[in-house]
Structure 1
Amino acid sequence: MLPSLACKRAATKSPKPASACPKGQLWRRLPLPLPLPHAPHRALSGSGSSSSLPLTTSHARGPPAPALLEQTIGQYFSSTVAKYGDRPAVIAHHQETTLSYDALDRASNALARGLQSINVQKGDRVALSLGNNIEHVTATFALAKLGAILVPLNPAFTVTQVASAITHLEASHLIIGTETHLPFKDPRSNVPLLEHLLPNLRSSAKIESALVPSLKGVVVVDNSKGRVDIDQFRSLTRYQDVVSSGPSAEKYLPDQGLDHNEIINIQFTSGTTSSPKAACLTHRNVLNNGKSIGDRLKLTADDAVCCPPPLFHCFGCVLGLQATSTHGAAIVFPSECFDPLATLTAAAEYRCTALYGVPTMFLAELDLLQTMPSARALAYMTNFRTGIAAGSAVPAELIRKLKAELHLDRLTNCYGMTETSPVSLMTAPSDSFAKRVNTVGKPLPHVSVKIVDPVDRARVVPVGTKGEVVVSGYVTMRGYWNDAARTAEVLVPDAADPSVVWMHTGDEGVMDADGYVAITGRIKDLIIRGGENISPLEVESCLLACDGVAEAAVVGLPDDRYGECVAAFVLRREGAHLAADDVRAWVRAKLSAHLVPKFVFWVDAKTALPKTASGKVQKYKLKERGLGLLQRGEGVE
């Protein structure tokens, strides 16, 4: 039976006592802001243009208007609340709760005061390990209003990863759920993780840990529905108690003396390589990027964005939360972690006008449409106007399928990375289907993008020539936390104007005469076969168009004759009878012979493609797996 589409959840539910606004004000003076790694970047002037004149070199600049916002996140949010206070801001389908903008403002003010009462101060790093829920959103705005720095952690992190992150950033507080919810798995209790971090968890009310010495407090959000009892742990503080413990205050939080150039978010890169880094983003970075993304999508207060991508990733917290909150739109969380059926259900129930996702999410939703008749019925009840496909290179065939199956006629494509706040290039719903399928769009306002020679970084290549994508403008991060060497590797001053800094992305792309860019792969992922450069994305897109293929990823493996060869990891669709020769024949018929995979490796539920939390395939792990399989003679040649 289909879920009821009644308005019982869409109507604003009264916030729990923890969301109520305490009375009174706190006028405690906070310490000066942290020193900034370097001055804000300017966009490059001179070459490149946002006009309609055809380009001859691969350098395009986004429009100079509208003007950049020079406010903090909290300041701009206040203006949104003033305009759209009674409109829904966040809808948590799985919590059966909706907060209006006014209710979210009050809840975040209350939490901010409560955090002050447990000694969270401006500049402190606060680690947040939560799924997509009301508490995560409330904490995001509370920390922004305080000037404390949000450090979103993947809830699936192991204790080693959590300890490493907290130690590296010297985080003072941790906000964590009692459970971690993972896609297609049972919830995992976080008690063992906390006991490892804090050996005195049961015996002492004081936070002391040799493993994470900077940690002063742990706030726990009970998302276990009674499965985890935290009363036995004396050193933990309930989220509800923090909200209600702050001194009473009026609706608005007193001015904290914040500056829009201060760091407000430290994002750990998602790790397509084996070494994640901590990218520092400012109010100015995040707020303007969210505003520009919402502008390009033409979001209004009448829109509801279905957002299954996680809030701990830039996709959820910037493309999702900041894009909607700067436009008075609603953000809808179908579940705490990705669930394809919950996504389609929530999209239909709340008549969502936009759908977000990374390729693996969209593939799971499309697969559900093939296997579950009720899911197909849900698809017909959706009200999508637009959406965003991002997170990794999006095969053109996938966009075609989403148009056909989910009626996403105006789905947009975008490109970015954590270090660029994250989006620098984006298509528009009004762009032609060919542009939205084959490119990642043009630069956002106040952003400059060039394609340069990977060897001679100062040389901009002609239009139509492949090279490395480099980005400049307000979007570039401040740097990697306490890592000047790796910062200098990617943030490179312009040769003609050293005050301009370019972010070297490591991605290969090509720009056309209109300034649209197509991403052709990671430079390090390119397969060099007999002197010819092969883009894995081209082969992956071809494989995805094959009826029997559910997912595919392509890497290069050593070859005695050609140096490298094409190796494909393929997940068959359920019930499909597909042999390695069928895969090769399909590619041979669609592409040239040198792109045909020499090796075909089958993957299943147990040997799934290794992915980051944002859905990007970790190619370095696939290469390691492929080499191991070849050594055991298991490659299908």
Structure 2
Amino acid sequence: MRAVRRFTFRPEDYRASFSTSATKCKMRMPVTGACRLARASSLVRWTSSRIAGRGLLSARAYSSKPLSFSQGPEDPPLLTHTIPEHFASIVSAHGDRPAVVARAPTALSSASTTPITTELSYYDLDVLSNSLAHGLRSLGVRKGDRLAVSLGNGAEFAALTYAAFKLGAVLVPLNPGFNAKQVAAALRHLGVEVLVIGKVTDLPYKPGRGRSNLELLRALVPDLEKGSVESEAVPSLRTVVAVDNLAFHPQVEFGRYRALTRYEELLAGGRGSVVPDEALRADETINIQFTSGTTSQAKAAMLTHTSVLNNGHLIARRMGLVPGDRIVVPPPLFHCFGCVLGYMATATTGAGILFPSPAFDPAATVRMVAEYDATGLYGVSTMFVAVLEALASGAGGVRQGEMPRGLRKGIAAGSSVPESLMRRLYETVGLEELVICYGMTETSPVSCMTAPGDPFEKRTGSVGRVMPHTKVKIVDPGDRGRVVERGERGELAAAGYLVMKGYWGDEEKTAEVRVEDEEGTVWMYSGDEAVMDEEGYVEITGRIKDLIIRGGENIHPLEVENCLFQMEGVKEVSVVGVPDERLGESVGAFVVVKKGWKGEGEDGDEEVLTRDAVRAWVGEHLSSHLVPKHVFWIDEYPKTPSGKIQKFKLRDMAKEMLGEKKD
């Protein structure tokens, strides 16, 4: 038996989900005669001159070979209405279908305990978000206001998302793992007036053992006993709404803090339709996402109704989502992976999204897949590795061979996915239609994606081809005016509806990466190194800043990582450049060993993985200059909220450890 918390409403209580001024939903017609890069050799010279005329390459780049430029199809047409308007059409068509199923652990939960489950149909989600929108309006939230939400995956976050969108407020999702300084900096930068935050933050891999947010709240609002919010750290802040997840962590007490507004108070505002203070426009900012910050301080990217809605819709189309799908999504809602690839993709098709836990828990993930007969599963590489380990050990009460037969779809994104891992997911989990997405927060986020029907080698060796209504080019990093030939590596840039409006309050950083060419096309430069083949498939070969230059030779970390990932005893690996007095840089490999193994020099009775064995493996499979000079053992990588490894921190760690050896 499952303990299920249901939101149900009588048909007579239901009203139209969203109303606005007398605007009508329109669909943009396909552009006819769109210029595409010709592949026929007889047209290459003509095409090169046309591209040069459009500012895509310099005259000296005139070449007889195809160029690394691709334009996606114009079908299906872009959606031109706002997110609430589109959501209303989904509710009308699929109101009785499951929209959100969310689970949360009980205190100190384990595989034997029963999690708390919330189930919402599309009707339920619509009415609940209406109530929250009215409650937020009573707090003074209006169109254009930034609404910060710091929650794990769950029904509350899902409903607040549409509540904000219906008001025209700008949703600002925050990583619940942020400390007080990070939260204060984000709120201050955006001038946030209302913050919604959980009383407890659930932690990845630690179900039921969360962090109390009391000290964080005291840092923001020192006098929580007062009846109002006063914050020197964030002068704009006037309301803090606390979501009561204490049922899962009963050791925390918040009852006496009068400065906090209870989440339940927002639900008393009524269930009727929501009319924004001003008519909403599709080109307006509706979401501000903080970038992952793999190499620098996170920035606040402004995304619109058009970019978020269409990116989710087109992702769903390419991967083949249908209304009957049930997709398990462990990636966080505070990141584009969870909110666009997950929530927006399912919500634009009438499919159901399933959150197995507020923060990633591999046992809860496999349990939800099995119990709800899921048809899809999302994750970054590290999540999928943990899922495979959970199946092998029987964690969550599910073992290999016991996953649903209908489990075929999925998305892997957020970081590189080794081919060997993809094969294991096909063979062990059954994800035969697993696709890979590539993008960045600033492009809403997906610009390239594989398709279930692509050849196997393309689905494992590339990030697919350009998405509809999108252009992609690969340029010389030292001369962005020169598009490189196909097969040549360079920096990837994307253009189209999906490009952000800019970084909030940072015109200088915006101008560095968001560049308008002479034809008026706005290009977003990724900083990622990529190569495009003759068929238009794109392979990401690493971050340009992560490139290792050893004695004048360029070394691509991903090549070494993919090699070591196939070595027995290696669970994860990340390769970085380490300063070298003679060569400039040398190769350093940070290795996480598998369970039952230990790194050379570590304590324990497990089988030993030696540094020489690591070097020998690379030397056997790759060129000698790719062999790591330094091998470091590490238990856990420093990562961004989305699961990307922060290589700049690994480089700092390498310098520190090597400095200690010299001393």
Q: Is 1:592 aligned to residue 623 of structure 2?
A: yes
1:442 alignment counterpart: 465
Instruction: Judge conservation of contact 1:304–1:352 (CA < 8 Å) in 2.
Output: yes
Q: Identify which range, 116-125 or 371-380, moves more after superposition.
A: 371-380
Contact 2:99 2:122 in 1 (8 A): yes
Q: 2:510 aligns with which of 487, 492, 507?
A: 487
1:304 alignment partner AA: R
Whether 1:239 and 2:228 are equivalent positions in the alignment is no
Whether 1:383 aligns to 2:406 is yes
- Tell whether the 8 Å contact from 1:442 to 1:515 is kept in structure 2 after alignment: yes
- Which of 458, 478, 491 aligns to 2:501? It is 478
Partner of 1:14: 6
Q: Secondary structure at the match of 1:93?
A: strand
Q: Which residue identity is paired with 1:582? A: A
Which runs of structure 2 are paired with 1:555-634 in the superposition (5 Å)? Answer: 555-576=576-597, 577-604=608-635, 608-633=636-661
Considering Cα pairs closer than 8 Å and 6+ residues apart, tell me whether 1 or 2 has the greater RCO. 1
Check the 8 A contact 2:530/2:542 in 1, yes or no: yes
Q: Does structure 2 conserve the Cα–Cα contact (< 8 Å) formed by 1:74 and 1:141?
A: yes
Q: Does the Cα contact within 8 Å between 1:145 and 1:256 map onto a contact in 2? A: no
Rounded to whole Å, the distance in 1 between the matches of 2:120 and 2:358 is 16
The CA deviation at 1:252 is 5.6
Corresponding position of 1:190: 213
Going from structure 1 to structure 2, the CA distance change for 1:513 and 1:27 (only over 3 Å counts) comes to: closer
User: 3-state SS of the aligned residue for 2:333?
Assistant: coil
SS at match of 1:279: strand
Preserved CA contact (<8 Å) 1:176 1:219: yes
Secondary structure of residue in 1 paired with 2:366? helix
Specify the code of the residue in structure 1 equivalent to 2:356: P
Q: List per-residue Cα deviations over 1:152-184 (Å, max 9, x = no partner).
A: 000000000000000000011000001000113
Q: Which runs of 5+ in 2 are unaligned?
A: 22-30, 45-64, 105-115, 598-607
Query: Matched residues in 2 for 1:513 and 1:598: separation?
Result: 36
Instruction: Say whether the 8 Å CA contact 2:39–2:66 is kept in structure 1.
Output: no
Alignment pair present for 1:78 and 2:106:
no
Q: Which residue of 2 aligns with 1:462?
A: 485
Matches of 2:572 and 2:662 in 1, distance apart? 20
Cα offset, 1:582, TM superposition? 1.0
Give 1:252-331 correspondences, 5 Å limit.
253=275, 256-331=278-353
Distance 1:143 1:210 in 2: 26
Contact 2:442 2:499 in 1 (8 A): yes
Note the aligned Cα RMSD (angstroms).
Answer: 2.6
8 Å Cα contact 2:17/2:273 also seen in 1? no
Cα deviation, 1:407-428, whole Å, max 9, x if unaligned, reads: 2122101100000000000000
Query: Are positions 1:222 and 2:244 aligned together?
Result: yes
CA distance in 1, matches of 2:497, 2:654: 40
Distance 1:325 1:255, change over 3 A: farther
| CA separation of 1:43 and 1:583: change in aligned 2, threshold 3 A | farther
1:282, 1:616 → 2: CA distance?
25
Q: Percent identity?
A: 52
Aligned mates of 1:490, 1:431 — CA distance in 2 = 31
Distance change >3 Å, CA 267–CA 49, structure 1 → 2: farther
Give the TM-score of the pair, scaled to structure 1.
0.91
Please say if residues 292 and 298 of structure 2, whose CA atoms lie closer than 8 Å, have aligned partners that are also in contact.
yes
| 1:368, distance to aligned residue in structure 2 (A) | 2.4
Paired residue total? 605
**1:103 partner SS:** helix
Contact kept, 8 Å, 2:414 with 2:644, in 1: the verdict is yes
Number of the residue aligned with 1:34: none
**CA distances 1:398-445 after superposition (whole Å, capped 9, x unpaired):** 212212221212210110000000000000011111000000001110
Aligned mates of 1:272, 1:431 — CA distance in 2: 30
Give, in whole Å, the separation in 2 of the partners of 1:43 and 1:631. Answer: 62
In the alignment, structure 1 segments of 5+ residues that lack a partner are 1-5, 30-41
What is the deviation of 1:48? 3.0
What is the distance in 1 between the residues matched to 2:97 and 2:19? Answer: 30
Q: Give the equivalent residue in structure 2 for 1:66.
A: 76
CA distance in 1, matches of 2:324, 2:277: 31
**Greater Cα offset, 517-526 or 213-222:** 213-222
Structure 1 contact 25–254 (Cα < 8 Å) conserved: no
Shift of 1:21: 6.7
Matches within 5 A, 1:343-492: 343-372=365-394, 374-377=397-400, 379-381=402-404, 383-492=406-515
The runs of at least 4 consecutive aligned structure 1 residues that moved more than 6 Å come to 20-29, 42-45, 49-55
Against the structure 1 CA distance between its residues 25 and 231, is the aligned structure 2 distance closer, same or farther, given a 3 Å change threshold?
farther
Give 1:633 shift. 1.4
Distance 2:484 2:36 in 1: 13
Q: Tell me if structure 1 keeps the 8 A contact 2:18–2:274.
A: no
User: Are 1:533 and 2:557 matched, yes or no?
Assistant: no
8 Å CA contact retained: 1:348, 1:382: no
The equivalent of 2:37 in structure 1 is: 48
- Aligned CA distance change for structure 1 residues 634 and 130 (closer, same or farther; 3 Å): farther
**How is 1:133-148 mapped onto 2 (pairs within 5 angstroms)?**
133-148=154-169
Q: CA deviation at 1:396?
A: 1.9
Q: CA deviation at 1:96?
A: 1.0
* 1:122 matches 2:134: no
**Where do residues 128-167 of structure 1 align in structure 2 (5 Å cutoff)?**
128-167=149-188
| Residues in 2 aligned to 1:25 and 1:537: alpha-carbon distance in whole angstroms | 48
CA contact (8 A) 2:474 2:492 kept: yes
The 8 Å contact of residues 201 and 235 in structure 1, kept in 2 or not, is answered as yes
Change (3 A) 1:532 1:555: same
TM-superposed CA distance for 1:229, in Å, is 3.2
Aligned to 1:38: none
Kindly indicate whether residue 120 of structure 2 is the aligned counterpart of residue 99 of structure 1: yes
- Quote the offset at 1:383 in angstroms: 3.0
1:50 and 1:62 in contact (8 A); partners too: no
Q: Cα 1:634–1:583, aligned 2, differ >3 Å: closer, same or farther?
A: farther
Determine helix, strand or coil for the equivalent of 2:204.
Answer: coil
Per-residue deviation at 1:46?
4.0
Stretch deviating more after TM superposition (402-411 or 510-519): 402-411
Name the aligned partner's letter for residue 330 of structure 2: P
Deviation of 1:13 after TM superposition, in Å, equals 5.2
Deviation at 1:232, TM superposition (A): 0.5
Give the letter aligned to residue 629 of structure 2: K
Q: For the Cα contact (< 8 Å) 2:166–2:276, is it kept in 1?
A: no
Corresponding letter in the other structure for 2:412: A
Partners of 1:27 and 1:619 in 2: CA distance: 47
Contact 1:43 1:472 in 2 (8 A): no
Counterpart position of 1:36: none
- Paired with 1:250 and 1:469, the residues of 2 have a C-alpha distance of 46
What is the one-letter code of the residue matched to 2:331?
Answer: P
TM-score normalised to structure 2 length: 0.87
How far the C-alpha of 1:550 sits from its partner, in A, is 0.7
Query: Is the alpha carbon distance of 1:271 and 1:554 closer, same or farther for their aligned partners in structure 2, counting shifts above 3 Å?
Result: same
